[in-house]
Chains A and B, each alone.
Chain A
Amino acid sequence: MSNHVTVVMIEDDEGHARLIEKNIRRAGVLNDILPFTDGTSAVSFLFGPDGTGAVNAGRALLILLDLNLPDMTGVEILARIKQNEHLRRCPVVVLTTTDDKTEVQRCYELGANVYVTKPVNYENFANAIRQLGLFFLVIQVPEAS
C-alpha cells in the first residue's frame, strides 16, 4: 500500500483501537491512521462540512469500520460511503464482533470489501490484525475522485 494511503479507523472502543493500531504497525504498515471513536465525527470527516464527500477528493482512504457504534450503526455509514460518488471506490474493511450470517450478507450486499470477525482470543485477534496489516501492504487503493 503506497504511503499516501490514509487508514480511517472507526472504532468506539479505544482499547480495541489501540490494539488494532499496534498490531497493524507490527505488520510493518507505516501509513497514517486516523482513529474515530464515534459515528458522527467519522461521518463529518469523511463527507466534509457540506456532506458531499468532495473534501476527500484526490485522497486515498482505506476505511476500517466497526458495526457497533454508540451513536449510529456501522451499516448506516457503510451504506452512505458506498452510495457517495467520491468515496464509493474506497475499500471498506468491516471489523466487528458480530458473526451473524445475515449481518455479514447485508454488509457485502451494501458493498463492503472485506468482513472480518474480531476473534475473542487475543492471540487470534492480534494475528488477524497483523494479517490484515499484511493485506494492507499489498492492496492497491484508488484515490477518491
Chain B
Amino acid sequence: MILMLGFALLVAISLLSVLLIKQAQDDARRVTRSLQIMNAVSQIQILTRRAESGQRGYLLTSDPRYIYNYDVSRAAVGPAFASLMQLVEAEPQRVAQVTALRPLAEQKMAELDETLALQRAGRIEEALAIVKGNVGEEIQRQLVDGLVRIKREEDQALQSYLASSRASGYWLMLVNAAGVPAVLGLAALAIGLARHSTTGLRTAQRELESVNLGLEQRVAERTTDLKEANDEIQGFAYIVSHDLRSPLVNIMGFTSELDALRGDIFTRLAALRESAGAPESPADLAMKADFEEALGFIKASTNKMDRLIHAILTLSREGRKSFAVEEVDMGTLVEQIAASMAHQLMARDARITIGVLPRLTSDRLALEQIFTNLIDNAVKYMKDGVAGRIEISAATTPGFVTFSVADNGRGIDEKDRGRVFELFRRSGRQDRPGEGIGLAHVRALVRRMGGVISLESRLGEGSTFKVTLPLRLPTLDRMQER
C-alpha cells in the first residue's frame, strides 16, 4: 500500500517535471517572440527615422545619395510591418495596435514622398513649407509613440515571461530535488518491505517446520499408542482364548468320562436285572435317551465353543504375526489355489477363469489365505443347478492393485453385506459347514496389509469381492517410521 503511494508520488513528480519543462519551453518561446517583436518595432522606428533623415538631407543638399538612403528605407518599411504583423498575429491586441500604426507610417511616407516630389520639381519652397507645417512631425510623433508603447508593453510582457521562466526553472529544480529523495526513499522502502516480507516468510516457514515436526511427533506418539492398544487387544484375545480352553478341556473331558460312566451304569443295570430276573422296563430306555440327549447337547456345544476359541486364537495369532515380504507372482499363486480346489470345483461343475494378474511385493502366506478364503467361499456358496463360474481379475492403479473375485453364486442379501465380514457372522441358508471366520480373517489380513476389501452382490445372481492391496507391502521398519 505504502509502495503504491510511493509509486504514485513518483509518477506525479515525473508528470510535474514534464509539465514544468513544457512551461519553460513555452516561456522561452514567448521571450524569443517578445524580443523579436521589440526588434521589429525598433527596426520600423529606425527605418522611418532613416527615411526622414534621407528626405531632410536631400531637401538640404539636393544630393542624390540621400535619395538612395531614403529609397532603401522607404522600401523596407512595408516588409518590416509585414514581418511585425506575422510575429504578433497570435495577439489580437497587438494586431490592432500594429494595424492602427500602419496608416500613420503610410501617411508619413506619403508626406515624405510629396516633399521629395516637390523638391525634384524645383518647388523647394513648397516642400519646406510642408516640413515646417509640422504635419509630418506630428504623424511621426504619433507613430513613434505607438511603437514605443508596443515596445514598452512587450518589455513588460518579456519581464513577466522571464519571471515565469525563472519560476518554472525554480520549480523544476525543486521538483527534481524532491524527486531524488523520493526515489531514494521509495527504493529504501521497497528494499525494507522486501526484506520484511522475506523475514516474515522465513519465520513462517520456520514455524511451519516446527509445527510439522510437532505434528509428526504427535502422529508417531498416537501410532505408538494405537499399536500398544492393538497389541494389548491381541494379547487379551490370546490370553482369554487360552484361559477359556482350560475349563473347556475339563468340561469336555469329564463329559466323556460321564459318557463312559453312563455306558458302565447301563451295562451294570442290565446285569443286575438279569441276575434279578426282572424284565427291561421302558423307563430304562427313556432314561437312556435322556442321557444321550443331554450329553449330545453338551458335546455339540463344547465342540462349537472349542472351534470358536480356536478361531479367536487363530485370528489373534495372525494379528501378531509379522509379514515376510517377498516377490509374489499372483497369477501362479491363484492358479495353485485353483488347482488345490480342483476336486471341489469338479464336484460342483464349476470353472475358474484367471485373468492377467500382476506381481506383488508382499507376504505370500497372507495372500494365499486371502484368496483361498475368497475362492473357497465362491465354491462353497454356488447356486444349486447352475454351472459355477468364478472370475478372478486385477486392475492396477498407481501403487495399488484391485483384485476382483466374482462368482455367479447365491449372492448376499444387502442387509448382510457388512455383517459377513464380522467374526462368527454368516449370511443366507446355513447349509454349509463353517464358523463365520473366513471373511473376518480376510478383512483383518487385508487391513493389516494396508488395503481394503469391499463387496458387491445381488441376491440370487452372484457376488464380487474387491480386494485393493498395495503393490509393495510396507516393511515393518517403514511402517514404524511413519
Which A positions have Cβ atoms within 8 angstroms of B?
13, 15-16, 19, 22, 68, 97-98, 118, 120-123, 125-126
Contacts and interface: CB of A to CB of B under 8 A. Distances in A.
B309 interface: yes
A120 B245 contact: yes
Interface of B: 242, 245-250, 252-257, 306, 309-310
B306 A15 contact: no
A122 B242 contact: no
A118 B254 CA distance: 15
Contacts of B257: 19, 22
Contacts of B309: 120
B242 A125 contact: no
B256 A122 contact: yes
A122 B256 CA distance: 8
Given A97-B242, A97-B246, A120-B248, A125 B253 contact: yes
B249 A15 contact: yes
A19 B254 contact: yes
Nearest to B306: A120
Contacts of B256: 122-123, 126
B250 A16 contact: yes
Contacts of A98: 242
Given A68-B242, A125-B253, A126-B253, 11 more contacts: A15-B249, A16-B246, A19-B250, A68-B246, A97-B246, A120-B245, A120-B306, A120-B310, A122-B249, A122-B255, A125-B252
Contact of B306 (A19, A118, A121): A121
18 contacts: A13-B246, A13-B247, A15-B247, A15-B249, A15-B250, A16-B246, A16-B253, A19-B253, A19-B257, A22-B257, A97-B245, A97-B246, A118-B249, A120-B306, A120-B309, A121-B252, A122-B249, A126-B253
A134 B329 CA distance: 48
Given A120-B248, A122-B249, A125-B249, A15 B242 contact: no
Nearest to B317: A100
A68 B246 CA distance: 10
Among B245, B247, B252, B253, residue most surrounded by chain A Cβ atoms (within 10 Å): B253
A102 B480 CA distance: 24
Nearest to B242: A97
Contacts of A22: 257
A15 B254 contact: yes
Nearest to A121: B306
A121 B245 CA distance: 10
A120 B249 contact: yes
A42 to B, nearest CB: 18
Contacts of B253: 15-16, 19, 122, 125-126
Contacts of B249: 13, 15-16, 19, 118, 120, 122, 125
Among B248, B249, B257, B309, residue most surrounded by chain A Cβ atoms (within 10 Å): B249
A126 B254 CA distance: 11
Nearest to B302: A122
A126 B246 CA distance: 14
A121 B257 CA distance: 14
Contacts of B252: 121-122, 125
Closest 4 CB pairs of A and B: A15-B250, A122-B252, A19-B253, A122-B253
Contacts of A97: 242, 245-246
Nearest to B250: A15
A126 B306 CA distance: 16
Contacts of B245: 97, 120
A132 to B, nearest CB: 15
Contacts of B247: 13, 15
Nearest to B305: A120
A102 to B, nearest CB: 12
Among B245, B246, B306, residue most surrounded by chain A Cβ atoms (within 10 Å): B246
A102 B255 CA distance: 33
A98 B247 CA distance: 15
A125 B306 CA distance: 13
A14 to B, nearest CB: 9
A19 B248 CA distance: 13
Contacts of A13: 246-247, 249-250
A98 B242 CA distance: 8
A87 B233 CA distance: 40
B248 to A, nearest CB: 7
Contacts of B306: 120-121
B239 to A, nearest CB: 10
Nearest to B307: A120
Nearest to B248: A120
A84 B310 CA distance: 38
A130 B133 CA distance: 179
B240 to A, nearest CB: 13
A24 to B, nearest CB: 13
A19 B245 CA distance: 15
A19 B253 CA distance: 7
B478 to A, nearest CB: 25
Contacts of A121: 252, 306
A47 B8 CA distance: 103
Contacts of A123: 256
Nearest to B252: A122
Nearest to B254: A15
A19 B246 CA distance: 12
Among A13, A68, A121, residue most surrounded by chain B Cβ atoms (within 10 Å): A121
